[in-house]
Amino acid sequence: MCINRKRLRTEQLRSPAPTSQQLHAADEQLKRVKTDSPTSLDHETITDNQELDKEEAATAAHRDEMVAAILTITSALGLSRETLHLCIGLLDRYLQLQNVTVFKLEALSISCLWIAVKFVETPTTIFDKSIKEILQRRRHSSNWTWNEILDFELNILQLLNFRIMAPTILELLQKRMFAKDDSENQEHDIDGLQFEQHQLALYFADLLLLKARANQFPKKLLVDAIWFVIAGNKIADVKPPLLEPVVQLYLAHRDNINPSHAVFKPWFALRCRYGAFLPAPWKVPYDPSCVCRVCEHVQDELAS
């Protein structure tokens, strides 16, 4: 008779328990292994966003975000206001004629900046400040190549019929500020601009660049709105057609001084550039001890 004997549990074969050293070694090996699944949530989100950017048309909000970046770049490099305003003018004129995807908007903006730099700045400035090299280095953190910038440059010039110059807010404002004939200034109750008023006018001119909505008004009307405000007039006294652009100035300034607003951080260069000079009630949050490149160039500009 065959008897099937069942082994006791204690007698069953089993692998020896791993030692603490083995567990530690296995844990370290897992830490070194990087698993990047193409189906992971993060991977899908990044890929989807990139694909959407390649097809999504740039909106006014995208344009405003890019203008804030250009303002920061030009301020940090110590480029002239004329370069900034010409660059944004080229960008807006191009966008009026041609739709651009979000994916290509930065390349378009850098191309406009490069055209403006070569048109306004001197060769010495371009060389001494290594502007081309600095712009080229941005491609490492962006989605374009320098050849694409050059292709865009030709495309911009052809679309605009090689007409680089066009009236800007800054140009019309400076003509009024430095007019030899003071009759127009007296008409607006300004006998002569004080330094703070001068800075306030330039601040408003740059501030309006950051709002695509300002493009719906003629440039001369925007300058009239700036002149109305720096003359010390109250918003309660404004009448059409100045009403809308003056309100636009007030709203843009309100956003610039609100730390909780989405534009507060991207617009920091504007506050660094003018914060030390703006008169009440137009003062902005400003740190006098700031040593960023924007503040350094402001001090150099005052010393020159």
The predicted-structure confidence for 238-295, as pLDDT tens digits, reads as follows 999 999 999 999 999 999 999 999 999 999 999 999 999 999 999 999 999 998 999 9
- How many C-beta neighbours within 10 Å does residue 293 have? 14
Residue range 201-238, pLDDT digits in tens: 999 999 999 999 999 999 999 999 999 999 999 999 99
pLDDT of residue 5: 47
Global confidence as pTM = 0.80
Give backbone dihedrals phi and psi of 101, rounded to 5 degrees, phi first.
Answer: -80, 160
pLDDT of residue 142: 84
Residue range 66-72: average pLDDT? 97
State the pLDDT confidence band at 138, using cuts at 50, 70 and 90: confident
What's 189's DSSP letter?
T
pLDDT at residue 42 greater than cutoff 70: no
- Left, alpha or beta for 60 (phi > 0: left; psi -120 to 50: alpha)? alpha
Tell me how far apart the alpha carbons of residues 44 and 40 are, in angstroms, rounded to a whole number.
6
Tell me how far apart the alpha carbons of residues 273 and 203 are, in angstroms, rounded to a whole number.
8
Q: Which two tokens stand for residue 168?
A: 């800007």
Residue range 13-25, pLDDT digits in tens: 344 555 555 545 5
Long-range contacts of the stretch 151-155 (C-beta < 8 A, 24+): 152/104, 152/107, 152/108, 152/110, 152/111, 153/111, 153/114, 153/115
pLDDT of residue 301: 79
State the pLDDT confidence band at 46, using cuts at 50, 70 and 90: very low
More confident residue, 55 or 169: 169
State the pLDDT confidence band at 300, using cuts at 50, 70 and 90: confident
pLDDT of residue 25: 53
Among residues 206, 212, 119, the alpha carbon closest in space to that of 169 is found at 206
pLDDT of residue 38: 33
User: Is residue 263 within 8 Å of residue 210, measured between CB atoms?
Assistant: yes
